[in-house]
């Protein structure tokens, strides 16, 4: 089952209540679901709904999922906190708010406010019934692997902990058919074949029949055994299913295993949705391969921004220390703060506080954390014209946070995530040109992206490497036109010279030739990074040499690579793994700034 999609309205700014709020002693969100008897928080991100009393029968997750679409008009999460009363009005009584309940109609003001999480479809990766029973009883399972799982993740053999892995003969046959070529799939197929060869080396025939320990090659987490199909199965498939098709033969193997081992859970693992549908239609347990998913729900993805509570200074203002330092010609104020919210923060995370009582707002970045003590540094205001970056100023709060990361030479890795029109490419190019041509921190801008077409491919492109990549770089050409306007008094000759200078410092490279390279003092921009697998992302990020800064730009709601979802994308992978690192940072851009036409089209289309 695919992961839930991100909200489809990129042109609305997030409300203050939509950002994760730090609370004493608890993290902003729960990352994983627990047992089946957990509250409804397992199904939807948000506040937990208390479990009913023991006298009433409990409903299973499957029943809750079946009922969820019929209750779209009723918010499942706890009702939002009532707004602050206007001056002169009396605050509402707590009893009255309780009496309204979940069945009351939404106020018109609530309906007009953007709240993408309120009507989000409830989608969860639910295990099969046989798998849940085995988890409850504590018995080990047998996972029958489809070929696409092995070709998607060559190390999937060792990802099933104490459970056994079974490989049908047809899976080995399909691996042999896909081993030729230079594609990623062919390389993975060859790697799986080498792994299987190492596992069966120096093994007796009896051991192949009883199972080969998966920990033989040093993978201590894999405590199960590897079984091969050593004889033909006699399980008959329903009439009408052609027996010559590979998928149907694997389904026959699963049915035969259920007959041979009646008391054990036999689960088919496949990345093919239709294969899983056919298996469930035949009464067989089938699941997707979840190990490559960084997160179960992309709403739990690290946003890099936290809104501080209104009583932040009340609880954290005692004993606060402040001082000023001048770095790079800019004076920054530092605060050393101690309090209960500090353990929930991460290094290089942005925090902000916008009081409603007329006090000055706080926009800062966490620089150090030591227990319950943190050091916050105020930000440079890039929304002001005097701090413009190559003529570009920040138009909203998130863009200001992003420019503080892009212009900081101490930050080596930056990831920007956002919908179309939020300014990812423009901010990255402006920061790159300013640091290459003005401050000369880097000597060159290198731009690359995955060449995955949206529609049908138009075939091979003529020319050199840069000429072949130029059609894929239309987004950068559009942004360069904005950045190369320059001074209107320079004349045609001056503008032409400026364009030649800028073009000479920007190189467009293909991902196919990145292995083995090392970039020194480069400003490397990886566009459309959501189409990269975690393995490809690791290959690219490890190309960085001394003095190189890497930027990953993308929108995980627009993935074109097959078998890649929001939870398993390489962009999601690096955002989750780099959070909290002192030389990396991430910002999720929330508001579209392209044009009023684009904003309106995002809302109504």
Which pLDDT belongs to residue 459? 57
558 pLDDT band, cuts 50/70/90, is confident
Which pLDDT belongs to residue 231? 81
Q: Count how many residues are written for the chain.
A: 605
Q: What is the pLDDT of residues 519-555, one digit of tens each?
A: 889 999 988 888 888 888 888 888 888 999 999 998 8
Ordered strands of the 373-378 beta sheet: 305-307, 350-353, 362-370, 373-378, 330-338, 321-327
**Cα separation values, 131 from 163, 211, 227, 248, 284, Å:** 11, 21, 19, 22, 11
E strand segments, 189-263: 212-213, 225-228
Which pLDDT belongs to residue 294? 60
DSSP-assigned letters across all residues of 385-449? GGG-BTTB---SHHHHHHHHHHT-TT--EEEEEE-TTSSHHHHHHHHHHIIIIIS-SSSEEEEEE
- Mean pLDDT of all residues belonging to the chain: 74
- Average pLDDT of span 153-180: 88
**130 has a pLDDT exceeding 80:** no
Q: What is the pLDDT of residues 465-507, one digit of tens each?
A: 566 666 655 666 667 777 766 555 555 666 666 667 777 777 7
The pLDDT > 90 percentage for the chain reads 13
User: pTM to 2 decimals?
Assistant: 0.63
Domains of the chain from N-terminus onward: 129-288 (3.40.50.1010), 305-378 (2.40.30), 395-452+462-603 (3.40.50.300)
Q: What angle do CA 343, 347, 350 make, to 5 degrees?
A: 95
19 pLDDT band, cuts 50/70/90, is low
Say how far apart CA 414 and CA 419 lie, in whole Å.
17
DSSP state of 355: -
Which pLDDT belongs to residue 570? 87
Q: What is the pLDDT of residues 224-274, one digit of tens each?
A: 889 898 887 766 777 777 877 888 888 888 988 888 888 888 999 998 888
**97 has a pLDDT exceeding 80:** no
């Amino acid at each position: 089952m695919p992961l839930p999609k991100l909200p489809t309205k990129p042109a609305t700014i997030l409300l203050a209540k939509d950002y994760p709020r730090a609370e004493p002693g608890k993290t902003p969100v729960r990352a994983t679901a627990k047992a089946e008897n957990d509250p409804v928080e397992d199904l939807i991100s948000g506040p937990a709904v208390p479990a009913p009393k023991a006298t009433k029968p409990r409903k299973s997750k499957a029943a809750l999922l079946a009922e969820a679409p019929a209750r779209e008009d009723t918010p499942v999460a706890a009702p939002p906190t009532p707004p602050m009363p206007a001056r002169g009005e009396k605050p509402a009584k707590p009893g009255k708010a309780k009496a309204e309940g979940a069945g009351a109609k939404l106020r018109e003001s609530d309906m007009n406010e953007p709240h993408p999480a309120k009507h989000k479809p409830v989608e969860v990766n639910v295990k099969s019934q046989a798998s849940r029973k085995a988890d409850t009883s504590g018995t080990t399972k047998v996972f029958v692997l489809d070929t696409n799982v092995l070709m998607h993740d060559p190390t999937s053999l060792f990802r099933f902990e104490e459970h056994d892995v079974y490989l049908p003969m047809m899976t080995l046959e399909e691996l042999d058919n896909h081993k030729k070529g230079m594609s990623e799939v062919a390389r993975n197929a060859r790697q799986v074949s080498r792994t299987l060869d190492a596992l069966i080396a120096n093994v007796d025939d009896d051991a192949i029949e009883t199972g080969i320990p998966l920990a033989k090659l040093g993978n201590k987490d894999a405590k199960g055994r590897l079984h091969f199909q050593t004889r033909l199965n006699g399980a008959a498939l329903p009439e009408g299913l052609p027996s010559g098709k590979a998928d149907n033969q694997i389904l026959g193997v699963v049915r035969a295993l259920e007959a041979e081992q009646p008391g054990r859970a036999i689960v088919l693992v496949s990345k093919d949705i239709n294969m899983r549908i056919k298996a469930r239609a035949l009464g067989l347990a089938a699941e997707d391969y979840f190990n490559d998913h960084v997160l179960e729900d992309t709403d739990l993805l690290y946003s890099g921004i936290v809104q501080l509570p209104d009583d932040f200074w009340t609880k954290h203002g005692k004993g606060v220390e402040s001082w000023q330092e001048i770095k790079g010609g800019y004076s920054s104020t530092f605060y050393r703060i101690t309090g209960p919210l500090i353990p929930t923060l991460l290094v290089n995370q942005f925090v902000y506080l916008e009081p409603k009582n007329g006090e000055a707002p706080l926009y800062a970045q966490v620089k150090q954390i030591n227990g319950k003590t943190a050091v916050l540094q105020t930000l440079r205001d890039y929304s002001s014209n005097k701090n413009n970056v190559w003529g570009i100023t920040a138009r909203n709060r998130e863009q200001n946070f992003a420019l503080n990361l892009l212009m900081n030479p101490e930050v080596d890795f930056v990831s920007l995530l956002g919908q179309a029109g939020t300014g990812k490419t423009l901010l990255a190019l402006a920061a790159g040109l300013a640091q290459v041509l003005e401050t000369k921190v880097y000597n060159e801008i290198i731009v690359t992206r995955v060449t995955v077409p949206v529609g049908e491919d138009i075939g091979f492109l003529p020319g050199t490497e840069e000429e072949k990549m130029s059609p894929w770089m239309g987004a950068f050409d559009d942004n360069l036109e904005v950045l190369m306007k320059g001074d209107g008094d320079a004349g045609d000759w001056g503008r032409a010279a400026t364009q030649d200078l800028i073009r000479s410092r920007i190189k467009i490279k293909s991902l196919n030739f990145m292995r083995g390279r090392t970039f020194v003092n480069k400003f490397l921009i990886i566009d459309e990074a959501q189409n990269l697998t975690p393995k490809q992302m690791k290959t690219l990020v490890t190309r960085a040499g001394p003095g190189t800064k890497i930027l990953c730009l993308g929108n995980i709601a627009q993935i074109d690579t097959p078998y890649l979802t929001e939870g398993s994308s390489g962009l999601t992978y690096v955002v989750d793994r780099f959070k909290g690192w002192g030389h990396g940072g991430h910002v999720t851009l929330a508001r579209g700034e392209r044009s009023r036409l684009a904003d309106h089209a995002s809302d109504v289309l």
